[in-house]
Amino acid sequence: MWSPFRRGELTLAAKVLLLQVAVIAVLLLAVGVLSVRTSTADFADERGAQMRSVAEYVAALPSVRDRLQGVRDGRYPAGDTPRALAPYADWGVSLSGASTVMVVSLDGVVLAATDPSRVGRRADLGSSDALQGRGWSGDVSPGGHRAVAAHAPVISETDGSLLAIVAAEVEYPSLADQVTTAAPDLVLFLGLGALLGLAGTWFVARVVRRSTRGLGTTELANLADHREALLHAIREGVVGVGTDLRVTAMNDAARTTLGLDSGADPVGRRVDELGLDPHVVALLTGDGADVRDALALVGTRVVVFNRGQASSGGRGIGTVTTLRDRTELVSLQSQLSSNLSITDTLRAQTHEFDNRLHTISGLVQLGEYDEVAALVGTLTRHRAEVGEYVAKRVADPAVAALVIAKHAVAEERGVTLELDPGSRLPQLPPDLGADVTTVLGNLVDNAVDACAGRPDALVEVWLHADDHDVHVRVRDNGPGIPPELRDAVFVRGFSTKDDVLGGRGIGLPLVRLICVQRGGEVVVDDADPGVRDGAEFRVVLPLGPALGDDGGS
């Protein structure tokens, strides 16, 4: 059962109900006052016209004119005037229902009246200009009672002069009389208005109570304050998006992660108007499906997105997305990727050495010592030739070691890895060398994976450094990458991994991240359009420090 009180406080629904009842009461009072004022105005118009007719009728009577003219001429005594004119005044009252009909002299004294007590007294003429020979109607206040009056001049038939004026008055009904007269209609209309107003108020109160869960205003304010405090205290980013694709909520962590610290408040704006990359907009809005642990690059940050549907009362109201910054973890992944690459290389070399040792052991057991010597010489020369070839073109020890190691891994998988004869790479600063090693290792691994198992599988590497940049090019003869997926491989490839620190790294997205952080770029294209299949990745890394570094190493 609904109660208007919650914890000693009126609920919001109860307050709305009381407020609307008060509004209805004020409206009903205003309607009543307006009705009374309208009734008074109608009375003044209707009765004023009647009083004008009566005053003009009595003033035009020949007997009235003759009596007044005779008093002026001395034919009739002045003392008989009240008695002589009284019948005509009474006649006017009987014709119109006026309260009083009077004949007033030119000096404002009542000569005759239906009320004998007013004879000889001064008449209340208000603002009348009837003494100038013109008819008039308006309000007067005889004896303190407000009345509608009309004045008509009495004109002499002999010389056209003004003899007197006739005044007809009717008092306004009292407020009680007006209410009593209009009571049936007024009660009907006000009652209907009150019932409709109360019914609407009750309905609104129910809707408000349902929408606010019966909470009071203080509780709602506390909930809003707690929501804001919790939202902005969370270290992870939180973004709420409505069904109209407008931002409904965004905490400080989300603004920082998305790079929206400065500028206008994003709340209330459409997501696609915030200047975010299209893939980030897609992750925040989506097509109705939930998103779990999707990784994407946001500027120079690696961010994990989780999006779920939000509903209220079984009705969808939008989505809520959480954002976790995993840039530091990806940096660790870069180091782990390099370590795993070295591990794979050592494993491949171990496997190769095992095969060679088994061959040598067999030859020794067969007594083919000359064959053993020839095989050892061949292996030694091959390794020396590979090392010498790479060392002449790549002066950086880490990058050279990586190329030699990847050469062994590629051989084990049946892929030929060639270093372009035109490659020239000097020794690099340690931080840049580490990034070049990570980029080259991931590109070569992807290229070997792409063309392994194909006839004449080939991966070509070209390294070069000029005065400003380091250039890396890795080309393979695998199936290539369709044009419509060349952007997706750098971003959506993130989500194909099982976890952020999964076994073999994050590949191409990590390459792009390093390029963005250093202010460089990575481009993918066909290996040799029109000649052969495959893909070609071109990377440019500036020789300067990475973005955000202080220049030290």
Distance CA 134, CA 144 (A): 26
Query: For 15-51, b where at least 16 C-beta lie within 10 A, e where not — what string?
Result: bbbeebbeebeeebeeeeeebeeebeeeebeebbebb
Q: How many C-beta neighbours within 10 Å does residue 244 have?
A: 8
pLDDT, tens digit (0-9, with 9 covering 90-100), for 359-395: 766 766 777 666 766 666 666 565 667 778 888 899 9
Decide if 266 contacts 250 (C-beta within 8 A): yes
pLDDT band at 164 (very low <50, low <70, confident <90, very high): very high
Q: Report pLDDT for 471.
A: 95
Task: State the residue for tokens 């990034």.
Answer: 435
Average pLDDT of 441-456? 88
> Dihedral, CA atoms, 212, 218, 221, 227, nearest 10 degrees?
-80
Query: For 438-451, b where at least 16 C-beta lie within 10 A, e where not — what string?
Result: bbbbbbbbbbbebb
Smallest CA-to-CA distance from 165 within 125, 138, 127 is with: 125
User: What are the structure tokens assigned to 381, written together?
Assistant: 């020369």
Structural domains of the chain sorted by starting position, each given as residue range(s) with its CATH number in brackets: 14-176 (3.30.450.20), 234-325 (3.30.450.20), 368-542 (3.30.565.10)
Q: Report pLDDT for 508.
A: 81
pLDDT, tens digit (0-9, with 9 covering 90-100), for 203-254: 776 766 666 655 555 655 556 555 565 556 577 888 889 888 898 888 888 8
